[in-house]
Chain A
């Protein structure tokens, strides 16, 4: 039933107390008098009227951030979970490796100081106090692109950068065979490879940021410091089809595999994990209207929205991207835990769900998701069609626990311009994958069988991964597999606002000029009474679907 706007209350974090179930007005049903809704559309936002009866799922407001993050970090190091305090594990003869989450987290990149800088400064100070000199810092990129010097400097801060770069602060290289160590096999026969430096260390410290529940835990080490030989065991169509969802680690085959590998590693290594959680404060200042329910937009909010849209639509592509890349999110740290991996992860997960989870009753026939300008794999780069697919079907479809927001056989509408644009230095293998492989088949199993090995071992792509700033040759396959549960679950995907229909066709999607047309296409098959849900982003929300 439609809810009169008059009864909608202003979302005030103080009233909500951030308890699941205590939040109000996060589910809004559109009626005739409802305001248009903001929908992410690449570098821009659509501001569209949704059909009456459409259910809009809003993200919860940001949790209160920790008043003194540095103090909280110190406390966590002194009071770890299921482990001795860090200082008590140290002696001057220790060989220590610190692994750090890479640029794929958080999104957009956060304002300085980055949480990783805060963590590093405290950990390094503790190591220094106890005379530990043999310390290496490895950015856990796995098969992601190498971070540039400037990006690393921004992430770790001046102090650590000056002290360690470049000899003892570097990107993980998954193709340097001499620097990889075989740790054994899991009881499922999965090979566990790891950075040799980490494997040879007396103590491995992992510094993590948990933006969403799929991050952290054993996945940090077992994926972040592993090569293709390990990743292929869980980054494959079969495993990902059995993950319901990526945001629910208890029901994700991907996470189960990573957990098995992590346990093999932890049985041989002393791993000390630091996990942090951040709040939902993705857009602040002039852009804070993006967090609001549109029914409560003020005139000032409308002016800012118009200004934002005018700017985005009139800048050149390069300038617009540069402007968006320069934006830094005012995330606040909501929790920090240290110690044994699984104990730490349980606490971090609880906090993350406290931030994002919204109870939702029932599935919809049609799900609308807006794909924004950024995803984990295009920071300071271009959102290419394969990444749009990964974001829409991989990440946004999976923003649920229990059941997907859309019913089996339903339709997903993805809003994005979908241009045939790639970054040749960051995503070289994506270009060949899109133009050659997807032209032959969109079936993930066939793609894996026919092309994956060739791309994984392609010398030019390996060269660009090792010495340039390119994602590994096999990475576009993983992005495609990422969308596999959604492809198995949904009957149709419609790209709304698609500028290049042939791009949508290449992805196996249908194209619509506008959101209205996409909804009309979807309802023509599902019926006029089809239920529609719009997952309102940004920031982030995870639907607990009953």
Chain B
């Protein structure tokens, strides 16, 4: 299980507990896995090394695009192959740096507000994301979130093999993980809330009693409207902004 716990799993008072499960990319933050990958590759070794890593990643772009169109799980597998050969220590260090320098600045303020309000209302926050654990761990610490689920990489002799450990956090696996988490913590999923932004998160949202579409893409918005799920917008400028310009700016920042 790709479960990370800062606290013990069970306590005497777990019976009455409820949780709010949050997807990360696009839901609480306006960045995604591509951005993390580029940041890491652009900060490895000498500049010649960086160029070779980024060139290799660029060459992989068509496959990534096709995978994104077909299967989010496949996308994750391909994306994490880019980290092959990088040492665990370096990834952990870069993950912390990325979190502090980039990720925290890109969190939606309204998202943090929502997490805290939910916490006050008795909904324990849990992150459920396809991002790597070495990025999510420092973020969870910053947000004071005890439990999270993230993708974990296989390391061999201290270096990333480019493979992911099962279960891979994408689509239905998120739902399965939530069910197991709820069972372990004495929660009823019907009483839990879930927040996600993409159509790929439908199984995850369907598993929860209170699904909420956050900054939904076109397809998820249509689904939310037809299933009568609440739709909220956490981004600073809902529906506005220039997507191309935003992506260029992020790449420059990386």
Contact = CB atoms under 8 A, between A and B. Distances in A.
Contacts of A457: 121
Nearest to A464: B232
Contacts of A425: 230-231
A424 B233 contact: no
B161 interface: no
B233 A468 contact: yes
B228 A424 contact: yes
A467 B233 contact: yes
Interface residues of A, number: 17
A428 B118 contact: no
Given A424-B224, A467-B110, A460 B212 contact: yes
Contacts of B229: 424
A467 B109 CA distance: 12
A459 B225 contact: no
B210 interface: yes
A214 B117 CA distance: 35
Contact of A460 (B193, B224, B228, B233): B193
Contacts of B120: 459
A424 B118 contact: no
Interface in A452-497: 457-464, 467-468, 470
A459 B118 contact: yes
Contacts of A467: 110, 232-233
B121 A431 contact: no
A432 interface: yes
B252 to A, nearest CB: 29
Contacts of B121: 457-459
Contacts of A424: 224-225, 228-231
Interface string A410-431: 0000000000001011001001
A459 B228 contact: no
B210 A463 contact: no
Interface in B202-254: 210, 212, 224-225, 228-233
Nearest to A420: B228
Contacts of B224: 424
B231 A460 contact: no
B114 interface: yes
A470 B232 CA distance: 10
Contacts of B193: 460
Given A432-B210, A457-B121, A463 B225 contact: no
A148 to B, nearest CB: 12
Interface string B111-135: 0011001101101000000000000
A459 B22 CA distance: 14
A60 to B, nearest CB: 40
Contacts of B230: 424-425, 428, 431, 460-461, 464, 470
A295 to B, nearest CB: 43
A463 B114 contact: yes
Interface residues on B, range: 10 to 19
Contact of B114 (A428, A431, A459): A459
Contact of B110 (A422, A428, A463): A463
A422 B71 CA distance: 32
Nearest to B225: A424
Contacts of B118: 459-460
Nearest to B118: A459
B117 A462 contact: yes
A432 to B, nearest CB: 7
A453 to B, nearest CB: 10
A459 B121 CA distance: 7
A65 B120 CA distance: 53
Contacts of B114: 459-460, 463
B200 to A, nearest CB: 20
A113 to B, nearest CB: 29
A459 B224 CA distance: 19
Given A424-B224, A424-B225, A432-B210, A463 B231 contact: no
Interface string B99-117: 0000000000010011001
B232 A468 contact: yes
Nearest to B193: A460
Interface in B26-55: none
B187 to A, nearest CB: 17
B117 to A, nearest CB: 3
A425 to B, nearest CB: 5
A463 B231 CA distance: 10
A424 B210 CA distance: 13
A459 B117 CA distance: 5
Contacts of A431: 228, 230
A519 B192 CA distance: 45
A463 B228 contact: no
B232 A422 contact: no
A460 B225 contact: no
Most buried by A among B123, B193, B224, B228: B228
Nearest to A421: B228
B157 to A, nearest CB: 46
Contacts of A470: 230
Contacts of A422: 228
A467 B228 CA distance: 19
Nearest to A458: B121
B195 to A, nearest CB: 8
Nearest to A384: B228
Interface in A230-261: none
Nearest to A429: B230
A468 B212 CA distance: 13
B75 to A, nearest CB: 29
Contacts of A459: 114, 117-118, 120-121, 123
A460 B192 CA distance: 12
B72 to A, nearest CB: 24
B18 to A, nearest CB: 11
A403 to B, nearest CB: 39
B109 to A, nearest CB: 11
A530 to B, nearest CB: 39
B213 to A, nearest CB: 8
Contacts of B110: 463, 467
A431 B213 CA distance: 15
A463 B111 CA distance: 10
Contacts of B225: 424
B151 to A, nearest CB: 27
A422 B123 CA distance: 26
A431 B210 CA distance: 11
A462 B120 CA distance: 13
Enumerate the 5 nearest inter-chain pairs by beta-carbon distance, A residue then B residue, closest first.
A459-B117, A428-B230, A459-B118, A431-B228, A422-B228
7 contacts: A425-B230, A425-B231, A428-B231, A431-B228, A432-B210, A460-B193, A467-B233
Given A459-B118, A467-B233, 12 more contacts: A424-B230, A428-B230, A428-B231, A431-B228, A459-B114, A460-B193, A460-B210, A460-B232, A461-B230, A467-B110, A467-B232, A470-B230
